[in-house]
Amino acid sequence: MSRQVVLDTETTGLEVAAGHRVIEIGAIEIVGRRRTERRFHCYLNPEREIDEGALRVHGITSEFLADKPRFADVAAEFLDFIRGAELVIHNAAFDVAMLDAELARLDPSPGRIADHASITDTLAMARQRYPGQRNRLDDLCKRLDVDASQRQLHGALLDASLLAEVWLAMTAGQTALALDGAPEERARAVDRVRAAGTIRLRVHRASEAERIAHAARLAEIEKRCGRAPIWSREAGGGTTAPTPGA
């Protein structure tokens, strides 16, 4: 069964080359297109100042991070959590570059993120699906009817949670129903689609006028053909139109 880890980070700034660091990691686990209770979340002491621009985005201060663990303290647990999964990240190049730089600082280095998990970039997916449109996470939430009303500031765990819903919505059509498979496989496939929120049947019942018109049409077909339409016979015969107001 497929396993995804939807991941987001917050950082001290935008430039890896300038020595900027990861200060928050949020990750949500999805197995078989269902969110599990497992998640990874931590704040990190970056041992450097936070750029003003970054502070305006996420609101995480140096004072708040002063007593938090270093990346080296959580690296093993983090790698255990993502190992073997498909990492789902919005603008993956940025987050992966930041995490790779953190891994490179370890002694010995455990390699790169791509050595432990595959990577899917939802920004690239969105640009392919919605060319010429804005494809920030906020934009995708609005487009796909994902409630992002709590997102006043960026936060790794909140953004990972929103991205999980966005990814499920964006990939819902890729779920194979396997209708020619075994009954239990078909049932599992339908459950996966329902979990993604893609089966939303809306029933529009015929009005009284529409039912009268339909019955009259069937009666006309029966008169012209000398017998009732086959679907009327299979449904139990009679096509006599009801009397209006009866």
For 126-180, what is each residue's pLDDT tens digit? 999 999 999 999 999 999 999 888 776 688 999 999 999 999 999 987 544 444 4
Catalytic residue among 58, 90, 154, 204: 154
Query: What's the pLDDT at 187?
Result: 57
- d(C-alpha 77, C-alpha 169), whole Å: 29
> Higher pLDDT residue, 41 or 172?
41
Please state the pTM of the whole predicted model: 0.70
Is 185's pLDDT higher than 60? no
State percent of the chain over pLDDT 70: 79
Query: In 71-173, which residue ranges form alpha helices assigned H by DSSP?
Result: 71-82, 92-104, 122-129, 137-143, 156-170
Query: What's the pLDDT at 233?
Result: 52
Q: What is the pLDDT of residues 59-102, one digit of tens each?
A: 999 999 999 999 999 999 999 999 999 999 999 999 999 999 99
Is there a contact between 69 and 44 (Cβ–Cβ < 8 Å)? yes
* Across 209-217, average pLDDT: 80
Strands 3-11, 22-31: pairing is antiparallel
Q: What architecture is the 3-170 domain classified under in CATH?
A: 2-Layer Sandwich (3.30)
Is 121's pLDDT higher than 70? yes
N- to C-terminal Cα separation, the chain: 56
Active site (annotated) includes residue 204: no
Residue type, 191: D
